[in-house]
Amino acid sequence: MFEQLNQAITPFLEIFGDNIYTQAGLVIALSFIVASIFKYVLMVGLKAFIARIHVSLDSSFLNLLHTPIYYSLLLMGFSSAASIVAPSELSGYIIFSSLQSVAILIWTAFFLRANHVVLRKIALNPNRFHAVNNKTLPLFLNLVNIIIIVLCVYFVFSVWGVDMTAWLASAGIVGIAVGFAAKDTLANLFSGVFIMADAPYKIGDYIVLDSGERGEVTHIGMRSTRMLTREDVEVTIPNSVMGNSKIINESGGPHEKSRCRVPVGVSYDADIDEVREVLMQIALTEKEYVCEDPEPRVRFRRYGASALEFELLVWITKPALRGRVIDILNSEIFKQFRQRKIEIPYSKHDLYIKEMPTRYSEEPKDDVE
């Protein structure tokens, strides 16, 4: 490429004489001029063109292009000037390799900054990009940065003629050894990534584990998830366990409201219409905790062994209020049923004694001689 460039500008340089150092200086000066024109003229035209064709491209991304393109044009000029001077083979190798290494470092810095800008913009559209959001953003930033740095090191070593095959093979062996040694940690790490990307629950949700533990999610980390139970006890669960378990999210769905069930049994002699009326009246009275929409419902479930089984269904604003609401409703149901003489059956046991046991008592006899 540099030979073609030199052939293109050679007729122009011969106008100023045959001195190679003069020609090299002109090439460097020309590269400064071209780089400045691109920086201050062409970039403005590029922004106007992008705005005209209505392409959604962040202006900060275009601003980042100034530096790498500007210095790349300068480095091309320095490389062309070095080829005109025609140093020795060793000097030329050192000069060209150094210039290429500088160019790689400049573009590496650009990609690191561009990665930050692009991923942050992607994270602002979680509906379009489910995997990248505010929670997983640091992970993807670090992952892409590592890839960029590894490629930078590889290209720099390649420019200087260093064979990376042995290094890559050694890195693969070390990676396998580390993977076996830290398989549990890696399992938790990848599970944490999938949990953050899939978002089956979020901080503040009330979840129920397979073990029956129920509580509020307080922290979702890369290694574990923390849950605060109703007893104010913090439980830490590894993400690998959370990823392979059935989780009931009581706060999930279209809203945070949760259904609360209150079963109650009444005597077979009770008036079922009156029971429905009393239960509905109790539910509609507790407006502080019970939602009006959806409205409460009463269901006659089944004929039990000793009672007619009803169920009062209400909606509460938050799952955390379930225990309190059940306590309030049960207390009011008991009071209202007692006041209206609606019997709540309970287990009774009658004991029948067939025959009283006979008690024998032997009194000691006096010996008579």
User: How many angstroms separate the first and last alpha carbons of the chain?
Assistant: 145
Residue 94 confidence (pLDDT): 81
Residues 362, 359: Cα–Cα separation, whole Å: 10
Tokens of 291: 């939602």
Q: Return d(Cα 153, Cα 149) in angstroms, integer.
A: 6
Residue pair 144/115 in contact (Cβ under 8 Å)? The answer is yes
pLDDT digits (tens, 9 = 90+) for 67-90: 788 888 888 877 777 776 766 777
* Interval 21-74: pLDDT, tens: 666 677 777 777 777 777 666 666 666 655 565 545 555 666 677 778 888 888
pLDDT digits (tens, 9 = 90+) for 290-319: 888 889 999 999 999 889 999 999 999 888
How confident is the model at residue 190, as a pLDDT? 74
Q: How far is CA 146 from the centre of its chain?
A: 20
**Long-range contacts of the stretch 98-107 (C-beta < 8 A, 24+):** 99/75, 100/159, 101/156, 101/159, 101/160, 102/71, 102/75, 103/71, 103/72, 103/75, 104/152, 104/155, 104/156, 104/159, 105/152, 105/156, 106/67, 106/68, 106/71, 106/72, 107/68, 107/72
Q: Are 226 and 234 within 8 A, CB to CB? A: yes
- Considering only residues 263 and 41, tell me which one the structure prediction assigns the higher pLDDT: 263
Sequential DSSP letters for 182-209: THHHHHHHHHHHHHHHH-SS-TT-EEE-
- The predicted structure's pLDDT at residue 283: 92
Taking all residues of the chain, what is their mean pLDDT, rounded to a whole number?
Answer: 78
> Is the pLDDT confidence value at 356 over 90?
no
Question: pTM score, two decimals?
Answer: 0.51
Which pairing describes strands 258-266 and 248-249: parallel, antiparallel, or unpaired?
Answer: unpaired
What single DSSP character describes residue 14? G
pLDDT score for 369: 46
Tokens 């079922």 identify what position? 272
